[in-house]
Structure 1
Amino acid sequence: MEKFTTLTGVAAPLPIINVDTDMIIPKQFLKTIKRTGLGTALFAEMRYNEDGSENADFILNKPAYRDAKILVAGDNFGCGSSREHAPWALLDFGIRCVISTSFADIFYNNCFKNGILPVQVTQEQLDALMDDASRGSNSTVTVDLETQQIKGPDGGTISFEIDPFRKHCLLNGLDDIGLTMEKADSIAAFEAKNLETHPWA
């Protein structure tokens, strides 16, 4: 998993509450188990018209936000059914940080397992960040995980809280497999001792 240390990029505003996982990645795109290629289907029902053409009014279709790396979203982001494809689609599009006042638990956990930083802020802080994000290509925001701070385009700073263990995993690019491999020497030693004491096993 790619490490998350400091992220600087355009922040896209999505002032919609209760964005569920079916809005993030509609069910018809869940057939694949690959983590790549889902970026084109991100928010598909809002991004595209019925004829397949782009909806010019949708935020991520606007020129200033096509390369957005940060999403500033409304309350209760990622609710609905549990599907790991949701963070896969966000990551494949290029979004590595989602900022909201609250997240659905399963989506929140899945973000950390896939290298996305979900940041929870107060409503007042979200309003300020949403205003920053509305500036188009000037809405450059920096998210520093080490110092746990978000810096806006005008230099304003917002501090956020994060679980120390999850912070460690993101800073070091450790998913569940990576965490297991950190114990590779201990596992190998146990297996060798077990083979010596239980050769018939």
Structure 2
Amino acid sequence: MEAFKKWTGIVAPVDRVNVDTDAIIPKQFLKRIERTGFGQFLFYEWRFDEEGRVNENFEPNKPRYQGASVLISRANFGCGSSREHAPWAILDYGFKVVIAPSFADIFYNNCFKNGILPIRLSEEQVEDLFQRTAAHEGYALTVDLENKTITDEAGLRIDFDLDEHRRQFLLQGLDDIGLTLKHEDEIAAYEQRNADTLFARA
């Protein structure tokens, strides 16, 4: 997994509460066995109409938000089912950071396992970001994970909190497998000792 230290990206808004995982990646697209390729289906039923045409009224579809890699939304983002395909789709589409007042627990945890930084801010701080995003085309934020800050070119600075264990996961580019492999030598030594003991008893 790619390490995350600092990221600057255009902000795209999804101004809705309770965005569930079925809205993030609808169930009919869960048949793929790879982790990649889900980005094209992100927010599918909002991005496209019933004829498959682009819904120009859905904010992230607007030209000013093309290439965005920071997503802002409202409370309880990622609620619903536990499907890990939701962060897969978000990452594959190009988003590296998701900012909201609150997240569903399973979705929140899955983000860290897939190299996405979910940031909780207050309702007031998120509303301010929505206002700034609407007022300035190409509005961008810089997220510094090492210093736990969010800044923009207009002088905004927001400090955010994050569990240190999860922060280190992202800073070092570790998922659960990567964390285990950090102890590969100790595991190999244990297995050898165990094998020697079994051989001695035979």
TM-score (norm 1): 0.96
Q: CA RMSD in A?
A: 1.2
Query: Partner of 1:109 in structure 2?
Result: 109
Query: Partner of 1:66 in structure 2?
Result: 66
Question: Which segment is superposed worse, 146-155 or 94-103?
Answer: 146-155
Structure 1 pair 167/45, CA: closer, same or farther in 2 (3 Å)?
same
Residue pair 2:121, 2:160 contacting (<8 A) in 1 also: yes
Q: Deviations over 1:20-60 (max 9, x none)?
A: 00010001011112111111100000000111111111122
Structure 1 pair 134/153, CA: closer, same or farther in 2 (3 Å)?
farther
Q: Which SS does the other structure have where 1:119 is aligned? A: strand
Q: Deviations over 1:64-109 (max 9, x none)?
A: 2121100010111000111100000000000011000000001000
**C-alpha separation between the residues in 2 aligned to 1:14 and 1:153?**
22
**C-alpha separation between the residues in 2 aligned to 1:149 and 1:59?**
26
Where does 1:1-201 land on structure 2 (aligned, <5 Å)?
1-135=1-135, 137-199=137-199
Question: What one-letter code is carried by the residue in structure 1 that aligns with 2:197?
Answer: T
Measured after TM superposition, the shift of residue 131 of structure 1 is 1.5
**C-alpha separation between the residues in 2 aligned to 1:32 and 1:5?**
30
**C-alpha separation between the residues in 2 aligned to 1:69 and 1:19?**
18
Residue pair 1:75, 1:101 contacting (<8 A) in 2 also: yes
Residues paired across the two proteins, number: 201
Residue pair 2:19, 2:79 contacting (<8 A) in 1 also: yes
Unpaired runs of 5+ residues, structure 1, are: none
Question: What one-letter code is carried by the residue in structure 1 that aligns with 2:138?
Answer: N
Q: Deviations over 1:116-170 (max 9, x none)?
A: 0000001111111111222454311101100000102312100000000000000
**C-alpha separation between the residues in 2 aligned to 1:136 and 1:7?**
19
Unpaired runs of 5+ residues, structure 2, are: none
Q: Which SS does the other structure have where 1:142 is aligned? A: strand
Question: What one-letter code is carried by the residue in structure 2 that aligns with 1:144?
Answer: D
**C-alpha separation between the residues in 2 aligned to 1:136 and 1:45?**
27
TM-score (norm 2): 0.96
**C-alpha separation between the residues in 2 aligned to 1:51 and 1:179?**
45
